């Protein structure tokens, strides 16, 4: 039983503190988000924004995993791209070569990712901080080498097309039909991706608000002290790797099934850096931030592209060579880089912190000073 004074959210029991949605506002908020998430693909037909959001959703799953590892447990990993690749090729193998149904290949990808994460995890016990980061970078390059050469699954440097079953019982995620209406691949896929995002976010949030989450944060803050009070470093560091690589593998599997074509060079260092960018811009150590960051990094370059067409002195087309010549495409990149810099200078704790600030402002309103 909870006793609540209006707008003050005082709680009497410990269990209430752990609740996911503490106030009526947050419950209404999540209901609105779910409703919007369900209605959006049904009402929007624009394949472009749907594909942007689909890729962003896939990135969000990977980012949630990385945030668990780096944000909550403090193990900086630049090797995320490798696990995404592992997931993609698991999908190719289980879904493509063996034709297993959707839930099977998706979970198999998670299992394979987790197992490999369990192998890599013990390295984290030996290395710390920046050294761990760069060793994980090595994982990406060794992974690239393995993917290049394991031609039977990856198709070698030329890549392989991916054709996996995407049906869950009567629901076909390549062309959904509700009543007498049919929906496109992008619209149907949106449901699959963002449903998995919701599941991953719930899973991660449950981990972080209970005992394992507290243990992980203890490891991040002061691992020696944590060990002294009885938190098993081996268990939580390796465990964090397992979960994060499982989630990354799920993201990779969905990526491969969505794009229908993958090549080994796709899983390079830039992808790892992009994920680090997502969790930093979104807010290190928050789940909501991972999703926000993924949407930001995925959608903002496209938004910049839309509006920069109106900037004078910048040409839309490629040039003939000679002299200072800035195309709108180069400008887009520059604006994107500048946005990241400016945003982080102003709010280093990322989008989630901005969101919390807004919430706090309105909670104390009209006494917001």
Partner 1 sequence: MNRGKLIRLVAVIAALALITAACGGTKKSSSSGTSNKTLAAAPGFDPTTNTIKVGVITPLTGPVAVIGQPLTNGTATWFKYINAEKLIGGKYKVELVQEDSQYKPDLGVQAYNKIKNDVTVIGQLLGTGVTKAVLPLLKADNAMAAPASLDADWVRDPNLIPVGGPYQIQMINAASYLVNDLSQKSNVFCSLIQDDAYGQAGQQGIDFAAKELGFAVKSTAKFTAGGADFTAQVQQLKGAGCQDVFLVATPTDTGKIMGTSAQLQFAPQWVGQSPTWIGAFIKSPLLPYLQQHFLLAAEGTEWGDTSVQGMTDMLDRVQKYSPTQQPDIYFVFGYYQAQAVTALLEKAVQLGDLSRAGLVNAMNKLGTVSFNGLTGDYQYGKASDRNPPRNSTIYKVDPAKPGGLAKVKYQFESDAAKKFSF
Partner 2 sequence: MTDFLQLTFAGLALGALYALVALGFVVIYKATGVINFAQGGLVLLGGYLTYNAHHTWHVPFLLAIPIAMVLCALVGAAVERVVLRRMVGQPVFAVIMVTIGLLIIIEQVVTGIWGFNQMPMGDPWGIHRLKAGGLALAVKDVWTIVFAAVVMIAFFLFFRYSRLGVAMRATAFDQEAAVANGISARRIFALSWAIAGAVATLAGVMLSAGGAGVRPDIEFVALIAFPAIILGGLDSPSGAVLGGVIIGVTQTLTSGYQPQYASWLGDGFGSAMPYVVMIAILLVRPYGLFGTREVRRV
For CA atoms 209, 210, 213, 214, the dihedral sign is: positive
Q: Is 91 in the site for partner 1 (CB under 8 A)?
A: no
Q: Is 244 in the site for partner 1 (CB under 8 A)?
A: no
Q: Rounded to a whole number, what is the largest CA-CA distance in the chain?
A: 73
List all residues 6 or more positions away from 78 whose beta carbon is below 8 Å from its beta carbon: 133, 134, 136, 137, 140, 269, 272, 273, 276
**Per-position x/- string for 97-136, each x denoting binding to partner 1 as judged by CB under 8 A, each - no binding:** ----------------------------------------
Where in 290-309 is the site for partner 1 (CB under 8 A)? 302
List all residues 6 or more positions away from 125 whose beta carbon is below 8 Å from its beta carbon: 233, 234, 237, 238
* Partner from partner 2, partner 1, none contacting 265, C-beta within 5 to 8 A by type: partner 1
Nearer to partner 1, 94 or 183 (CB): 183
How many Cα atoms within 13 Å fall on the side-chain side of residue 226?
Answer: 21
For CA atoms 204, 205, 211, 213, the dihedral sign is: positive
Nearer to partner 1, 329 or 355 (CB): 329
Residues forming contacts to partner 2 in the complex (CB under 8 A) are 123, 126-131, 133-135, 137-139, 141-142, 144-146, 148-149, 222, 224-225, 228, 269, 273, 276-277, 280-281, 284, 321-322, 324-326, 330-331, 333-334, 336-341, 344-345, 348-350
Which pair of tokens denotes residue 133?
Answer: 């980061």
Considering the complex, what minimum distance in angstroms separates the CB of residue 326 from partner 2?
Answer: 4
List all residues 6 or more positions away from 36 whose beta carbon is below 8 Å from its beta carbon: none
Q: Is 159 in the site for partner 1 (CB under 8 A)?
A: yes
Is 258 within 8 Å of 154 (Cβ atoms)?
no
Considering the complex, what minimum distance in angstroms separates the CB of residue 160 from partner 2?
Answer: 17
DSSP string, 173-221: TTS-EETTEE--HHHHHHHHHHHHHHHHHHHHHHHHHSHHHHHHHHHHH
Nearer to partner 1, 131 or 141 (CB): 141
What's the CA gap between 270 and 193, in Å, rounded? 22
Q: Which residue has the tokens 């243990």?
A: 215
Nearer to partner 2, 56 or 139 (CB): 139
* Partner from partner 2, partner 1, none contacting 326, C-beta within 5 to 8 A by type: partner 2
User: Which stretches of the chain bind partner 1, using CB under 8 A?
Assistant: 35, 38-39, 41-45, 47-48, 50-52, 55, 148, 156-159, 161, 177-178, 180-183, 185-187, 255, 259-263, 265-266, 302, 316-323, 327, 329-330, 332-333
């Amino acid at each position: 039983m909870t006793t609540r004074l209006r707008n003050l959210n005082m709680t009497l029991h410990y269990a209430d503190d752990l609740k996911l949605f503490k106030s009526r506002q947050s419950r209404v908020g999540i209901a609105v988000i779910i409703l919007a998430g369900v209605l959006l693909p049904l009402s929007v037909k624009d394949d472009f924004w749907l594909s942007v959001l689909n890729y962003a959703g896939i990135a969000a799953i990977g980012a949630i995993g990385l945030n668990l590892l780096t944000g909550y447990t403090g193990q900086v990993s630049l090797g995320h791209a490798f696990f995404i690749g592992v997931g993609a090729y698991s999908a190719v193998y289980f879904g493509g070569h063996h034709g297993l149904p959707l839930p099977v290949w998706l979970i198999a990808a998670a299992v394979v990712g987790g197992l490999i994460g369990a192998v890599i995890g013990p390295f984290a016990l030996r290395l710390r901080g920046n050294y761990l980061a760069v060793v994980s970078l090595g994982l990406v390059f060794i992974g690239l080498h393995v993917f290049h050469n394991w031609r039977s699954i990856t198709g070698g440097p030329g890549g392989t097309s991916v054709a996996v079953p995407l049906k869950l019982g009567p629901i076909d995620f390549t062309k959904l039909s509700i009543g007498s209406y049919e929906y496109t691949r992008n619209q149907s896929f949106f449901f699959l991706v963002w449903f998995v995002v919701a599941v991953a976010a719930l899973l991660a949030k449950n981990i972080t608000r209970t005992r394992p989450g507290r243990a992980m944060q203890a490891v991040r803050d002061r691992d020696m002290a944590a060990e002294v009070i009885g938190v098993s470093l081996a268990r939580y560091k390796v465990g964090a790797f397992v979960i994060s690589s499982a989630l990354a593998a799920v993201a990779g599997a969905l990526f491969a099934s969505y794009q229908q074509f993958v090549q080994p060079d796709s899983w390079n260092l830039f992808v790892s850096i992009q994920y680090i960018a997502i969790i930093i811009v979104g807010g290190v150590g928050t789940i909501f931030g991972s999703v926000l960051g993924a949407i930001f990094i995925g959608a903002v370059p496209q938004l910049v592209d839309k509006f920069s067409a109106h900037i004078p002195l910048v040409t839309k087309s490629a040039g003939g060579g000679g002299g200072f010549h800035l195309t709108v495409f180069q400008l887009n990149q520059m604006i994107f880089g500048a946005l990241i810099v400016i945003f982080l200078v102003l709010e280093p704790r990322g989008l989630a912190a901005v969101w919390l600030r807004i919430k706090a402002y309105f909670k104390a309103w009209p006494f917001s000073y």
